[in-house]
Amino acid sequence: MVRSRKDALVRRKKEILCLVCLPGLMALYVAVRGGGFVSLGPDARLYLSIADNVLSTGHFIQSVRDPGSFVVPFGLPLILTALRGLGLSAGAIIALEYLLFGWSCLLLSRSEEALFGGWWISPCLFTAALIRSHLEINNVYLEYYFLFCLIAVLYLLTRQDMPLKKKLLLLNAAGFAGFAIRTVLILVYLPILGYTLYAAAGKRLPVAAALLAVLIPWAVFAGNAAVNCRETGHWILTSNYSGADVYAANNPRTRTEFYSLRDLPDFVDERFYTITEDPALDPTEKDAALSHAAGEWIRSHPGQFLKNTAAKTWSLFGVYWRYALVLALLAGLWGIVRKEPPGGIWSVCLGVNLLLAVTTGMGLLMGRYSIVVWPLASLHLAGGWHAAWGRLRKHETK
């Protein structure tokens, strides 16, 4: 009875911290920053325009930037279409983001508890990382949606009591949703998909379940490509805008400093403007031409490309975070060496996180881009804290 009361008290504290205190702290941060409860940026207006166009005209296309041709990954616009269809205003959607943030913190807390016994460090670190990245909840940021997917993946991996079939189906759903929202998260989705097929080949997962996990997502992607073809005349799987960023990050005049849109002229050469101002090319063709030109430069300057990538990765994931992510990496490696938590899956998670960091370093430097590694980094830092605290207490009792 005493034990059950203690567990209930801890559970209540955990819920209050994650669902009330941390969202309250974020709201206070928004108030101090003075941006107002609703402050929609250019990307938010673009995503919302897609949702509104679907409901008013039936066309899944934005009408804010390069009207009718600028294509973004469909994950967030599809979510917003559902929310708009339910009658939610921009303010109501932002209020929902507070709930999503609180739930993300709660899943992180449960993951930390399952792995290390503690429950409060990782959600607090995660909140601090969001504040450091200036991802305040008064805007429609896709980060809050894909971070929830990443945290859901980590939470599911800690659930030792869940049947494998259910776990893998939910992992595929969370991984694919993250990929549909943020394309780089294919690096998370592919290992999940690969393990699903491996489990089916080893007869640990019914073949029908594996087919369900594989075919439904790719049928959705095929449908999205068909919709994009209807809207633009091109079969576009994910987006048609990243070529400009890829080229700006990989050309003879590129720089390894932090980037903002106003700095674009300092990062590109004349070839960029030759392509983007060519009236014979539509936006999708310009995107492909810029990506091709960036690829040409990388192939002809591999040493400079690797040097730039290393410098940008260190700036973004080392210096920008005052070396906290370096400490997280060391804590993760130490835990793997000591097999705490046990299982090779955490080695894979750390490898994927490192790959996400390096891949991000291949592009332009923006602080918010680095937030993608923080769900796992928060758990690694929490694990390091619990290990150090346990050793200290053990030393004190001797």
| Residues in contact with 360: Cβ distance below 8 Å, sequence separation at least 6, in sequence order | 184, 313, 316, 317, 369, 370, 372
C-alpha neighbours within 13 Å on the C-beta side of residue 182: 23
Question: In whole angstroms, what is the distance from residue 258 CA to residue 22 CA?
Answer: 29
pTM, two decimal places: 0.95
Amino acid at 37: F
Query: Which residues in the chain come in under a pLDDT of 50?
Result: none
How much is the pLDDT for 391? 73
pLDDT at 343: 75
Position 383 scores a pLDDT of 94
Output phi, psi for 230, to 5 deg.
-60, -40
At residue 395, the pLDDT reads: 61
Residue type (1 letter), 375: P
Per-residue exposure over 219-229, b if at least 16 CB sit within 10 Å of its own CB, e if not: eebeebbebbe
What's the rounded Cα separation, in Å, for the pair 213 and 207? 10
DSSP 203: T
What secondary structure letter does DSSP report for 147?
H
Ramachandran class of 62: left when φ > 0, alpha when ψ lies in -120 to 50, beta otherwise: beta
Look at residue 394 in the predicted model and tell me its pLDDT.
66
Question: Residue 89's CB: how many other CB atoms inside 10 A?
Answer: 11
The two structure tokens encoding residue 20: 């009330």
Q: Two tokens at 280?
A: 């014979």
DSSP string of 209-273? HHHHHHHHHHHHHHHHHHHHHHHHSS--SS-S-HHHHHHHHSSTT--SSB--GGGHHHH--HHHH
Q: Where are the domains of the chain?
A: 1-233
Give the model confidence (pLDDT) of 105-155 as tens digits: 999 999 999 999 989 999 999 999 999 999 999 999 999 999 999 999 999
Q: What is the pLDDT of residue 162?
A: 95
For residue 314, with 0-12 CB atoms within 10 Å meaning exposed, 13-18 middle and 19 or more buried, which class applies? middle
Instruction: Give the tokens for residue 395.
Output: 């030393």
Backbone angles phi, psi at 258, to 5 degrees: -65, 150
Determine contact, residues 244/276, Cβ cutoff 8 Å.
yes
Complete DSSP assignment for 42-104: HHHHHHHHHHHHHHHHS----SSSTTTT----SHHHHHHHHHHHTT--HHHHHHHHHHHHHHH
